[in-house]
């Protein structure tokens, strides 16, 4: 009887934990996507006249950056955010 009473809260805790876990990873996924975006901006900043490594060096990484590039280009706020993004990068030591 006692066991049965506890079963429901236990299940509930289980659900909540899972929801929280997904929430937590969603947040982290968002963060990691942002970082990948910044990585691409840092590398291909010369597209927008930002200080950037030599384009010829960036090209060497281009073949492996399909996802990041798509992410970077798909961002509607890309142009406006560029400077802010670089400011952020400067905090990422």
The residues binding other proteins (CB under 8 A) are 21-22, 24-25, 28-29, 31-33, 35-36, 38-39, 42-43, 46-47, 52-57, 59-67, 69-71, 73-74, 89, 92-93
Q: How far is the CB of 4 from other proteins (least distance, A)?
A: 30
| 3-class secondary structure, 64 | helix
13/3 Cα distance (integer angstroms): 15
Which of 9/63 has CB closer to other proteins?
63
- Shortest gap between Cβ of 3 and other proteins (angstroms)? 29
Quickly list H helices, the chain: 2-44, 55-61, 66-74, 78-91
Provide the 10 A C-beta neighbour count for residue 2.
Answer: 6
Comparing CB distances to other proteins, the nearer of 12 and 62 is 62
| Minimum distance of other proteins from residue 67's CB (angstroms) | 6
Nearer to other proteins, 81 or 89 (CB): 89
d(CA 81, CA 75): 9
């Amino acid at each position: 009887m006692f066991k049965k009473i506890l079963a429901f809260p236990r299940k509930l805790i289980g659900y909540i934990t899972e929801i929280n876990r997904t929430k937590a990873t969603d947040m982290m996924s968002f963060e990691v996507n942002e970082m990948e975006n910044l990585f691409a901006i840092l590398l291909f900043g010369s597209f927008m006249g930002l200080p950037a490594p030599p384009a010829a060096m960036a090209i060497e990484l281009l073949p492996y950056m399909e996802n990041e590039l798509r992410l970077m280009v798909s961002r509607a706020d890309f142009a406006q955010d560029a400077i802010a993004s670089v400011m952020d990068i400067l905090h990422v030591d």
